[in-house]
Amino acid sequence: MSAYRIEKDSMGELQVPEEAAYGAQTQRAVENFPISGITLPQEFIRALGLVKQACADANCDLGGLDDSRRRAISSVCSEIINGRLMQQFPLDIFQTGSATSTNMNANEVIANLASKVAGEAVHPNDHVNMSQSSNDVIPTTIHVSAAISCHRQLLPAIRHLISAIDDKAESLQHIVKTGRTHLMDAMPVSLGQELSAWSAQLQSALSRIENTLPEIHQLAIGGTAVGTGINADKAFGGLVAEKLSAVTGLPFKTAANRFAALSSQDAAVALSGQLKSLATALMKIANDLRWMNSGPLAGIGEIALPALQPGSSIMPGKVNPVIPEAAAMVCAQVIGNDATITIAGQSGNFQLNVMLPLVAFNLLQSIEILANASRVLADKAIAGFTVNEDIINSALAKNPILVTALNTVIGYELGARIAKTAYAEGRAVIDVAVEMTELSREDLEELLDPKHLIG
């Protein structure tokens, strides 16, 4: 049997596992919310450590906290920031909507361990939570964790994917293929042009995310319980933002209106919307790759993605486009996360939003899986696919839509008859055009040269 110790809070005594650094309030939440087993992401807990550390430093600078306790609190926060105390944060994301349980989880862990470091009592509320409320700490931590994750994970990953696509596009600019609209044959494009559209989509998504981040850099800290800043020095919030900026290198500042920062999650909803836009672009790219790779005999077969693993438990030799499939599932998850965050963002009742843990979890998950999928797509799909030029050239030569290039010379009606004849007889357009027009083969070769048709 596990050993327990007795802890107490304002509601009385209860048993807490002996090895736990947390106290009574955390244990109550463990018992109250056995719902999903899903805990808040490490990025969030690390950011919470950053916020608590900055708050302790600010309180000391303002004369509210003695230096001995500040150093002890900061030392424990460093352990949290470095990921060494994650097992002390067991709470389910489906908990109190303000995430007060998670804030008190941090306060109790820090106070318990800091007391041992300092050799004197460090109180979870009076010292660790000084000048703070869960109602400004948790929205602040959502923004800090999202900003760090975007700047350190997502934005570099998108740039890496853009670079991989641009390099591939440059190498394939000379290959002309059949274009497709409505999944039907259309006028030709180069493979380089086709990939340039992917790059442009991602560059736009990148820019939209970057343009949204200044709102994420605004922090609720200093608003305390309802936005008025009760029990906090007026300089506290700005000083905490400065300290967070110094540590992370990101331009954090206090929110222009702390009442809005506590009661809404509009900035998180906006960022999630941009993540959904990125997911939409990645889904298009992943599906294009799957179609182009389809086959190898009965599909389009224009490219061959790297063969990474057996594709079937029953069909020997089958290989599937596993990386684009994984990326597409990531996109589906992110789109679903955005719907959840949108609903959560609507749950700002009067002075507080009460779905904060849900926003934190889904937003950080979207950022993480989009970053990882972007890198995997770049390195294991884009960079390594090969081109089946024989298949591309054969299909292009028989493409009846090439006759569109003759419209200005022979007219639409005759062009349509040539196209239908070429398709029905499985012949090249140029051979049919020689028979049905007065143009010479030399003129037709010039007019129908695919390389002249791609602009």
Does residue 317 share a domain with residue 384?
A: yes
- The predicted pLDDT at position 455 comes to 85
Tokens 């993540």 sit on residue: 275
Ramachandran angles phi, psi of 295, nearest 5°: 140, -130
Per the domain annotation, does 16 fall within a domain? no
Pick from 377, 347, 367, 375: nearest CA to 42: 367
* DSSP conformation letters of 207-220: HHHHHHHHHHTEE-
**Pairwise CA distance, residues 300 & 448, whole Å:** 23
Ramachandran angles phi, psi of 386, nearest 5°: -110, 160
pTM (two decimals): 0.96
Last-in-domain residue among 130, 159, 184: 130
Whether 182 sits among the annotated catalytic residues: the reply is yes
Cβ(17)–Cβ(46) below 8 Å: no
Q: What is the largest CA-CA distance in the chain?
A: 101
The domain of 411 spans 398-452
SS3 call for 410: helix
pLDDT tens per residue across all 455 residues of the chain: 579 999 999 999 999 999 999 999 999 999 999 999 999 999 999 999 999 999 999 999 999 999 999 999 999 999 999 999 999 999 999 999 999 999 999 999 999 999 999 999 999 999 999 999 999 999 999 999 999 999 999 999 999 999 999 999 999 999 999 999 999 999 999 999 999 999 999 999 999 999 999 999 999 999 999 999 999 999 999 999 999 999 999 999 999 999 999 999 999 999 999 999 999 999 999 999 999 999 999 999 999 999 999 999 999 999 999 999 999 999 999 999 999 999 999 999 999 999 999 999 999 999 999 999 999 999 999 999 999 999 999 999 889 999 999 999 999 999 999 999 999 998 989 999 999 999 999 999 999 999 989 98
Does residue 92 share a domain with residue 70?
A: yes
Cβ(191)–Cβ(387) below 8 Å: yes
Pick from 140, 386, 159: nearest CA to 248: 140
From the CB of residue 189, how many other CB atoms can be counted at a distance below 10 Å?
A: 21
Does residue 149 share a domain with residue 117?
A: no
**Pairwise CA distance, residues 203 & 205, whole Å:** 5
- The predicted pLDDT at position 398 comes to 87
Does residue 327 share a domain with residue 183?
A: yes
**Pairwise CA distance, residues 394 & 426, whole Å:** 11
Report how many domains make up the chain: 3
- The predicted pLDDT at position 438 comes to 94
Does residue 158 share a domain with residue 34?
A: no
The catalytic position among 2, 10, 182, 313 is: 182
Amino acid at 416: A
**Pairwise CA distance, residues 304 & 289, whole Å:** 9
Positive or negative torsion for Cα 293, 297, 302, 307: positive
- 216: Cβ–Cβ under 8 A, 6 or more apart, which residues? 143, 146, 147, 150, 267, 268, 271
* DSSP conformation letters of 32-95: H--S--PBPPHHHHHHHHHHHHHHHHHHHHTTSS-HHHHHHHHHHHHHHHTTTTGGG---BSSS
Does residue 186 share a domain with residue 78?
A: no
Per the domain annotation, does 245 fall within a domain? no
CATH number, domain of 78, equals: 1.10.275.10
Per the domain annotation, does 232 fall within a domain? no
CATH number, domain of 436, equals: 1.10.40.30
Cβ(351)–Cβ(257) below 8 Å: no
Does residue 414 share a domain with residue 435?
A: yes
Does residue 207 share a domain with residue 92?
A: no
Does residue 155 share a domain with residue 109?
A: no
Whether 199 sits among the annotated catalytic residues: the reply is no
Cβ(331)–Cβ(252) below 8 Å: no
Last-in-domain residue among 88, 105, 130: 130
The catalytic position among 312, 394, 440, 452 is: 312
